[in-house]
Amino acid sequence: MTIRLYDTGARQIRDFLPLQPGRVSIYLCGATVQAPPHIGHIRSGLNFDIMRRWLEYRGFQVTFVRNVTDIDDKIIAKAADTGEPWWAIGYRNECAFNAAYDALGCLRPTYEPRATGHIPEMIEMMRGLIERGHAYAADGNVYFDVRSFEGYLALSNQRLDNLLQPAGEGETGKRDPRDFAMWKAAKPGEPSWETPWGRGRPGWHLECSAMAHKYLGSAFDIHGGGVDLVFPHHENEIAQARAYGDDFAAFWAHNAWVTMSGEKMSKSLGNSVLVSEMVKRWRPVVLRYYLATPHYRSTIEYAEESLREAEAAFGRIEGFVQRAVELAGPVGPAPEVPAAFAEAMDDDLGVPQALAIVHTTVRHGNTALTDGDKDTVAARLAELRAMLGVLGLDPLDEQWSQAGTGGAAESAADLHGVVDSLVHLVLEQRQAARARKDYATADAIRDRLQESGLTIEDTPSGPRWNLGTR
First-to-last alpha carbon distance for the chain, in angstroms, is: 42
Pairing of the two strands 263-264 and 61-66: unpaired
336 marked as binding residue? no
Q: Helices 339-346 & 374-391, crossing angle to 10 degrees?
A: 10
Distance CA 269, CA 260 (A): 10
Give the pLDDT band of residue 462 (cuts 50, 70, 90): low
Sign (positive or negative) of CA dihedral 326, 332, 338, 343: positive
The CA-CA-CA angle for residues 381, 383, 386, to 5°, reads 105
29 marked as binding residue? yes
* Residue 64 neighbours by CB under 8 Å, 6+ apart: 26, 28, 48, 52, 107, 109, 110, 111
SS3 171: coil
| Residue 411, pLDDT score | 47
Dihedral Cα 340, 344, 345, 347, nearest 10 deg:
140
| Residue 332, pLDDT score | 97
Q: Is the pLDDT of residue 427 over 70?
A: yes
Given a contact cutoff of 8 angstroms between Cβ atoms, the answer to whether 125 and 429 are in contact is no
Question: Which amino acid belongs to residue 199?
Answer: R
**Domains defined along the chain, listed by start:** 4-275 (3.40.50.620), 311-401 (1.20.120.640), 402-470 (no CATH)
Given a contact cutoff of 8 angstroms between Cβ atoms, the answer to whether 410 and 404 are in contact is yes
| Residue 447, pLDDT score | 82
What's the full length of the chain, in residues? 470
DSSP 420-444: HHHHHHHHHHHHHHHHTT-HHHHHH
| Residue 382, pLDDT score | 98
Helical (H) or strand (E) element with 264: strand 263-264
Q: Is the pLDDT of residue 188 over 50?
A: yes
Give backbone dihedrals phi and psi of 17, rounded to 5 degrees, phi first: -120, 105
Q: Per-residue b/e over 356-369, b at no fewer than 16 CB within 10 Å?
A: ebbeebbebbbebb
| Residue 439, pLDDT score | 87
233 marked as binding residue? yes
**DSSP letter at 69?**
B
Task: Give the number of C-alpha atoms closer than 13 A to the C-alpha of residue 152, restricted to the C-beta side.
Answer: 22
**DSSP letter at 230?**
I
**Above pLDDT 70, what percent of the chain?**
91
How confident is the model over 333-347, as a mean pLDDT?
98
Predicted TM-score (pTM) of the model is: 0.86
Helical (H) or strand (E) element with 252: strand 248-255
Give the pLDDT band of residue 468 (cuts 50, 70, 90): low
267 marked as binding residue? yes
Give the pLDDT band of residue 417 (cuts 50, 70, 90): low
The mean pLDDT value of the chain amounts to: 91
SS3 160: helix
Instruction: Residue 447: name the closest of 462, 439, 366 by CA.
Output: 439
Highest average pLDDT, of 103-112, 253-262, 270-279, 428-437, comes from 103-112
Cis check for the bond before 18: say yes or no (omega within 30 of 0): no
106 marked as binding residue? no
Dihedral Cα 42, 43, 49, 50, nearest 10 deg:
160
Render pLDDT for 56-106 as a digit per residue (tens, 0 to 9).
999 999 999 999 999 999 999 999 999 999 999 999 999 999 999 999 999
Q: Is the pLDDT of residue 407 over 50?
A: no
Give backbone dihedrals phi and psi of 202, rounded to 5 degrees, phi first: -75, 155
Render pLDDT for 161-175 as a digit per residue (tens, 0 to 9).
998 766 667 788 999
DSSP 286-355: HHHHHHHSS-TTS-EE--HHHHHHHHHHHHHHHHHHHHHHHHH---PPPSS--HHHHHHHHBT--HHHHH
Give backbone dihedrals phi and psi of 445, rounded to 5 degrees, phi first: -65, -45
Neighbours of 417 (CB within 10 A): 12
Render pLDDT for 303-337 as a digit per residue (tens, 0 to 9).
999 999 999 999 999 999 999 999 999 999 999 99
Distance CA 331, CA 324 (A): 9
Question: Which amino acid belongs to residue 157?
Answer: N
